[in-house]
Amino acid sequence: MARLAVLASWSILAVSLAYLCLLFAIAYYGDKRADAGRSIIANPYIYALSMAVYCTSWTFYGSVGRAASGGMDFLPIYLGPTLTFVLWGFLLRKLIRICKAHRITSIADFISSRYGKSALLGGMVTLIAVLGITPYIALQLKAVSISFNVLVQYPDVVMPPISSKVPVLKDTAFLVALIMAVFAILFGTRNIDASEHHEGMVAAIAFESIVKLIAFLAVGVYVVFGLYDGFGDLFAAAARTPRVSALFTSSDTGYGSWPTLILLSMAAIICLPRQFQVTVVENVNEDHLKKAVWLFPLYLLIINIFVLPIAVGGLLHFPDGAVDADTFVLTVPMAERMEGLALFAFIGGLSAATGMVIVAAIALSTMICNDLVMPVLLRLNWRGLAERGDVSGLLLSLRRGSIVMVLLLGYAYFRFIGESVSLVTIGLVSFAAVAQFAPAMIGGMYWKGATRGGAILGLSLGFAMWLYTLLLPLFARSGWLPLGFVEAGPFGIELLRPYALFGLDGMDSLSHAMFWSLAANIGGYVLGSLFGRPGAMERIQAALFVDISSHAGAFGGTSFWRGSATITDLKTLLARFIGAREAGRALDGYARTHDLNLGRLREADAALVSFVERLLAGAIGAASARVMVASVAKGEVVGIEEVMKILDETSQVIEYSHRLEQKSQELENTTQELRAANERLKELDVMKDDFISTVSHELRTPLTSIRSFSEILSDNPALSIAERERFLTIIVKETERLTRLINEILDLAKMEAGRMDWHMTDTDPRVAIDEALAATSSLLAGRRIALTLEADPWLPHVHADRDRLMQVIVNLIANAVKFCHGEHGEVSILAGQLDGRFYLGVLDNGPGVPLNDRQIIFEKFQESREPTAGRPRGTGLGLAISRQIVEHFGGRIWVEDAPGRGAAFCFTLPVSRPVAVPAPGKESQEAL
């Protein structure tokens, strides 16, 4: 007898109650700690565990049932969340940032706020959520009820009778619903907190997640290692039973439903009100996300490992199919007389169910209160409401009432419809409903062009499709509608059959419904947005939501208050909705951070008014908050339309004048260029004239001397041999000079016209220097000039035409020789590296070049003439040619003072191959 007493109905109730009391205690402790400022939930582990509220009794009981008929088909519902969490950096983080910045407390608030604080949208979302989630809550109640009724049959393992025969007050499900309502009311609506954090609730949910995980693992471990000898043994036994082994191979549907299920659960993990609540609203620190994004999927993975083994164990244990596979988690331990384990499994299932119900009820009640009832109340009689004293009491009652209503709705659904359908089917219907939020939510985060009209159109079309292709047929199957509606279509119209709409046949009903509802939803959303005109408020909110990172930290100032309100008025308003204590605390906090003395100030500025609006938005929703603040702000709100119009016009004018300015700037630039070109042409013209006259002059000098000496020779045949020799030498010299001059003129003309043939190669400058020295040795012959070369041992190679490079060096040496000191001429050549370029300098100790001449000396026929008048001249083209060559090589040539006296002609060239070893010392050589 003592063995049986463990599963007597009184002991089950006692343990359940004890467990629920423990939950209350944890929640109470969590709230106390939060009040004391020492939160127990502010860490990523609790955060991830609270997300595991995703695993409801659907997971706990239903997955096994699904696995028993469809093999791995239970799994995609858990793979989807993992996929969404892979994209956490794009989706979740942005969602959390937006909601924190705008104090968004529910999905309805999010969508309403995004699309211009539209009360209509908020109401729609709330309605859809309530209608969609009610079956889900019913599912939990059904699971608790069935599991209890199965358990009390012990030691028999039989399915319980249909519960509708039980009077409501004796129905376990009803009692459970009531207890859940009490819990949700106690820890979900303790006070109207502006931040809407429910730390106690989160702590309790996290605890429940641990309990259900351990309970499920316990059953799994027992089945695999207690009943069988490990996984291998279990699966081997299964393989011997054809009906069971069929589960391991390709399913009948060929995995066609997997993409639908994955997609559905991807949407559900952010669109389910309870997931939104724990993931977004209850998030205390964005950084927790980084750990939670893999901890939560890991939780899902662990809890799912034993689903298939339990299903297999159950099928092998109850081969006749008399036991519903949804109850295997309980019935297998029961059949094995493991009372303790069975009871623990029941508690695990209870915690899975209660966790979901509590969070869903709280989330839905916030929506119902803020986005459905308050806007209506305000609209109907907001003056009366506005004049009432403390409204926070009303708000709390509203929320508590909503919680009770939601749970009663769930119970009613369970009582009248839920009996005939399996757990997973009910859950999927809910998923499909909330998936309708996904386009408006995700689109709203990334697409600024999305409008209120589009969101309304998409949501209503998608919802209508869901209703028609999923919910109504479910009603029909439960006997609430004639079954002919499903089989033959309404009024016998085949084309409108809800499971094969417009003749779309051959899909499973869920994929079919998802296809139509999402097609209608997204289509309506996109087209409605593209063909509608967004209002100003929508555009502002769109920008704030989409560009959240650039607006983060900026005051969510979406209101343009022309006048202002008195601080007292604002405080009273706040106090009415969130209570005097909270209001005082919030305003004090604001004053502290903004360095204000609210006691002295009378008028609140626009920023403070906006702050109050956001605070209120946390408590009563964005749309209502706006109305309430407008009721106390003196002077009206500047019409947003007006502001936007002003902004639009201003920006247009700015844009226009900006473009004008650009145009005139361009015009001015062109004129300037033209003028410069003209100047240059004139200059060139003058230069050409000069050049021709200079060239003719330069050519005439040698010609004249040649002619005169030739005449002397021809006119005076009696000249002595020595005389003749002398004159002939002069003639030869002058002829050579003439040739050189003409060659140089040709060279220069070619270079200037760009018709020069360059043989650019990788050149070792040392070779060029050596050749130049050799070529100029004749110049030095017979003159007392000391030529020294000082070069780094490793000279970098340059990309140049070797002959031309040599020509430059020759020119510079010739130039130096020509101008150096008459008596003690000194010419030195320095070669090396300077700033990563090849450098060569030729120094003389002549008179130097006056500052004024340093530019023009490189022009054609521009020698520095004055001090050296009468000295033998060059052609006057050497430096001009040198400059042309050096510049062609990409280098620079210039002249400066040599140390002491004299001029230094230097040039640098870009390096083609840097030296491998920087020169540590120098090699010095006497050239001559």
Partner 1 sequence: MTGPKRIAERSVATFLFAGAAFSPPFLSIFGADVFVFGLPLLYLYLFAVWGLVIALVAWIAGSDAAPPPQGKGWPPHAKGGPAHAMGGPPGGRAWRA
Give residues in contact with partner 1 (CB under 8 A): 71-72, 75-76, 79, 82-83, 85-90, 97, 230-233, 235-236, 239, 245, 248-251, 254-256, 258-259, 262, 286-287, 289-291, 293-294, 297-298, 301, 304-305, 308, 549-550, 552-553, 790, 828, 830, 832-836, 839, 841, 896, 898-899, 904, 906, 908
Largest CA-CA distance found in the chain, in angstroms, rounded? 164
d(CA 480, CA 449): 42
97 close to 180: Cβ distance less than 8 angstroms: no
State the Cα torsion 32-34-36-37 to the nearest 10°.
170
- Distances from the Cα of 360 to the Cαs of 146, 152, 262, 366, 414, in angstroms? 21, 28, 22, 10, 16
- Which of 26/238 has CB closer to partner 1? 238
- Which of 176/904 has CB closer to partner 1? 904
d(CA 861, CA 661): 47
- Which of 176/300 has CB closer to partner 1? 300
Query: Shortest approach of partner 1 to residue 71 CB, angstroms?
Result: 8
Query: Shortest approach of partner 1 to residue 819 CB, angstroms?
Result: 18
Query: Shortest approach of partner 1 to residue 75 CB, angstroms?
Result: 6
- Which of 156/835 has CB closer to partner 1? 835
- Which of 110/839 has CB closer to partner 1? 839
Query: Shortest approach of partner 1 to residue 289 CB, angstroms?
Result: 8
Query: Shortest approach of partner 1 to residue 566 CB, angstroms?
Result: 33
Which candidate, 604, 603, 507, places its Cα nearest to that of 253? 507
- Which of 273/902 has CB closer to partner 1? 902
| Burial class of residue 28 in the structure, from the number of CB atoms within 10 Å of its CB (0-12 exposed, 13-18 middle, 19+ buried) | middle
- Which of 73/747 has CB closer to partner 1? 73
Q: What is the radius of gyration, based on Cα positions, of the chain?
A: 47
Query: Shortest approach of partner 1 to residue 683 CB, angstroms?
Result: 29
Q: Which residues contact 663 (CB under 8 A, 6 or more apart)?
A: none
Query: Shortest approach of partner 1 to residue 686 CB, angstroms?
Result: 33
51 close to 275: Cβ distance less than 8 angstroms: yes
d(CA 347, CA 39): 27
Query: Shortest approach of partner 1 to residue 921 CB, angstroms?
Result: 13
d(CA 803, CA 809): 10
- Which of 39/145 has CB closer to partner 1? 39
Q: Which two tokens stand for residue 769?
A: 């220097």
Which candidate, 264, 276, 228, 323, places its Cα nearest to that of 108? 276
Q: Which two tokens stand for residue 192?
A: 């109207």
- Which of 312/633 has CB closer to partner 1? 312
- Which of 68/150 has CB closer to partner 1? 68
Query: Shortest approach of partner 1 to residue 13 CB, angstroms?
Result: 38
Q: Which helix (H) or strand (E) holds 894?
A: strand 892-897
Q: Which amino acid is at 81?
A: P
Query: Shortest approach of partner 1 to residue 833 CB, angstroms?
Result: 6
d(CA 42, CA 288): 8
C-alpha torsion sign, points 217, 220, 224, 228: positive
Helix axes 199-221, 9-35, angle to 10 degrees: 140
Query: Shortest approach of partner 1 to residue 249 CB, angstroms?
Result: 5
- Which of 151/789 has CB closer to partner 1? 789
Q: Which amino acid is at 722?
A: A
3-state secondary structure 662-710: HHHHHHHHHHHHHHHHHHHHHHHHHHHHHHHHHHHHHHHHHHHHHHHHH
- Which of 256/589 has CB closer to partner 1? 256
Query: Shortest approach of partner 1 to residue 821 CB, angstroms?
Result: 17
d(CA 68, CA 315): 7
Number of neighbouring beta carbons within 10 Å of residue 535? 18
- Which of 432/840 has CB closer to partner 1? 840
C-alpha neighbours within 13 Å on the C-beta side of residue 900: 9
802 close to 758: Cβ distance less than 8 angstroms: no
Query: Shortest approach of partner 1 to residue 888 CB, angstroms?
Result: 21
Q: Which residues contact 744 (CB under 8 A, 6 or more apart)?
A: 875, 877, 878, 881
Q: Which amino acid is at 357?
A: V
Which candidate, 561, 565, 556, places its Cα nearest to that of 642? 561
- Which of 158/236 has CB closer to partner 1? 236
C-alpha torsion sign, points 817, 820, 822, 827: negative
Query: Shortest approach of partner 1 to residue 829 CB, angstroms?
Result: 10
